[in-house]
Amino acid sequence: MMRVNQDRLWNSLMEMAKIGATSKGGSSRLALSKEDKAGRELFVSWCEALGMEIHRDPIGNLFAIYPGNNRLAAPIVMGSHLDTQPKGGRFDGVYGVLAALEVVRTLHENDVKLNHDLEIAVWMNEEGARFSPAMLGSEVFIGELSLEKALGIEDVNGISVGSELEAIGEAGTSEFKRHLDSYFELHIEQGPILEDLNKEIGVVTGGQAIAWLDVEMQGRAQHAGTTPMRYRKDAMLGVSAFLLEIEGYVAAIDDALLTIGEINIPFSSRNTIAGTVNFTLDIRHPETEKVKEMVAKVKEMAKEVAAKRALEVSLTDVWLSPAIPFDESCVNLVRSAVKELGFSNIEMISGAGHDAIHLAKHCPTTMIFIACKDGISHNEAESITEIDAANGTNVLLHAVMKRDQM
- The binding site for Zn ion (CB under 5 A) comprises 92-93
* 92 vs 117 by CB, closer to Zn ion: 92
* 142 vs 315 by CB, closer to Zn ion: 142
What Cα–Cα distance (Å) separates residue 255 from each residue in 73, 191, 207, 250?
Answer: 39, 14, 12, 9
Euclidean distance between CA atoms 160 and 84, whole angstroms: 18
Taking CB atoms within 8 Å and a gap of at least 24, the contacts of 337-342 are 337/394, 337/395, 337/397, 337/398, 337/399, 337/402, 338/201, 338/203, 338/395, 340/1, 340/398, 341/1, 341/391, 341/394, 341/395, 341/398
Tell me how far, at minimum, the Cβ of 32 lies from Zn ion, in Å: 16
Q: 147 near 171, Cβ under 8 Å?
A: no
* 92 vs 139 by CB, closer to Zn ion: 92
* 13 vs 114 by CB, closer to Zn ion: 13
* 377 vs 391 by CB, closer to Zn ion: 377
Task: Specify whether the backbone of 378 is left (phi greater than 0), alpha (psi in -120 to 50) or beta.
Answer: left
Task: Name the residue among 40, 57, 58 with its Cα closest to residue 48.
Answer: 40
Hey, which residues does 209 pair with through a beta bridge? Answer: 285
- Give the H or E element holding residue 405: helix 386-405
**How would you classify the pairing of strands 53-56 and 365-370?**
unpaired
Tell me how far, at minimum, the Cβ of 187 lies from Zn ion, in Å: 6
Residues 6+ apart with CB under 8 A from 321: 209, 210, 211
* 83 vs 404 by CB, closer to Zn ion: 83
Tell me how far, at minimum, the Cβ of 66 lies from Zn ion, in Å: 23
Tell me how far, at minimum, the Cβ of 272 lies from Zn ion, in Å: 44
* 26 vs 93 by CB, closer to Zn ion: 93
Residue nearest to Zn ion (CB): 93
Phi and psi dihedrals of 319, rounded to 5? -160, 140
What Cα–Cα distance (Å) separates residue 235 from each residue in 182, 186, 311?
Answer: 51, 46, 7
DSSP code for 27: B
* 135 vs 399 by CB, closer to Zn ion: 135
Euclidean distance between CA atoms 366 and 332, whole angstroms: 10
Tell me how far, at minimum, the Cβ of 92 lies from Zn ion, in Å: 4
Tell me how far, at minimum, the Cβ of 377 lies from Zn ion, in Å: 8
On the 0-12 / 13-18 / 19+ scale of CB atoms within 10 A, 50 is middle
Tell me how far, at minimum, the Cβ of 137 lies from Zn ion, in Å: 12
* 93 vs 238 by CB, closer to Zn ion: 93
Q: 272 near 225, Cβ under 8 Å?
A: no
**How would you classify the pairing of strands 257-259 and 76-80?**
unpaired
Tell me how far, at minimum, the Cβ of 81 lies from Zn ion, in Å: 6
Tell me how far, at minimum, the Cβ of 123 lies from Zn ion, in Å: 9
Euclidean distance between CA atoms 143 and 158, whole angstroms: 25
What Cα–Cα distance (Å) separates residue 305 from each residue in 218, 230, 259, 276?
Answer: 12, 16, 19, 15
* 92 vs 181 by CB, closer to Zn ion: 92
Tell me how far, at minimum, the Cβ of 100 lies from Zn ion, in Å: 14
Tell me how far, at minimum, the Cβ of 127 lies from Zn ion, in Å: 7
Q: 317 near 213, Cβ under 8 Å?
A: yes
* 128 vs 325 by CB, closer to Zn ion: 128
